[in-house]
Amino acid sequence: MSAQKPEWLRVRAPSGETYVKVKNLLRGLQLHTVCEEAQCPNSAECWGGGTATIMILGDVCTRGCRFCAVKSGDPRGIFDPDEPQKVAAALSNLDIKYAVLTSVDRDDLQDGGAGHYAKTISAIKETSPGIIIEALIPDFSADEKALSKVVEAGPDVIGHNIETVERLTPNVRDRRSTYRQSLSVLKAVKRMNPNIYTKSSIMLGLGEAEEEVLRSFSDLREAGVDMLTIGQYLRPSEWHLPVSAFVPPEKFERYRELAQEHGFLYTASGPLVRSSYRAGEFFIEALTRRKREMMADVR
Question: Per-residue pLDDT for 38 more than 60?
Answer: no
30, with CB counted inside 10 A (0-12, 13-18, 19+), is exposed
Question: Per-residue pLDDT for 246 more than 70?
Answer: yes
pLDDT, tens digit, 9 for 90 and up, residues 175-197: 999 999 999 999 999 999 999 99
pTM, to two decimals: 0.88
Query: How sure is the predictor about 9, in pLDDT bands with cuts at 50, 70 and 90?
Result: confident
Specify whether the CB–CB gap between 229 and 201 falls below 8 A.
Answer: yes
Q: How far apart are CA 286 and CA 273, in angstroms?
A: 17
3-state secondary structure of 61: strand
Domain ranges in the chain are: 7-298
Amino acid at 32: H
- Fold topology of 7-298: pyruvate-formate lyase- activating enzyme (3.80.30)
Query: How sure is the predictor about 32, in pLDDT bands with cuts at 50, 70 and 90?
Result: low
Amino acid at 63: R
Question: Per-residue pLDDT for 44 more than 60?
Answer: no
Residue 259 has φ and ψ, to the nearest 5°, of: -65, -40
pLDDT, tens digit, 9 for 90 and up, residues 126-147: 999 989 999 999 999 999 999 9
**Residue 54: partners with Cβ closer than 8 Å, 6 or more residues away:** 26, 31, 32, 33, 34, 87, 90, 91, 99, 100, 101, 102
Question: Per-residue pLDDT for 45 more than 80?
Answer: no
3-state secondary structure of 132: strand
Biggest alpha carbon distance in the chain? 57
Nearest to 103 by CA among 65, 139, 67: 139
* Per-residue pLDDT, 99: 87
Q: What are the distances in angstroms from CA 209 to CA 161, 217, 246?
A: 19, 13, 13
Q: Which of 17-26, 74-83, 269-278 has the highest mean pLDDT?
A: 74-83
* Per-residue pLDDT, 94: 81
How far from chain centre, in Å, is Cα 176? 18
Mean pLDDT, the chain, integer: 87
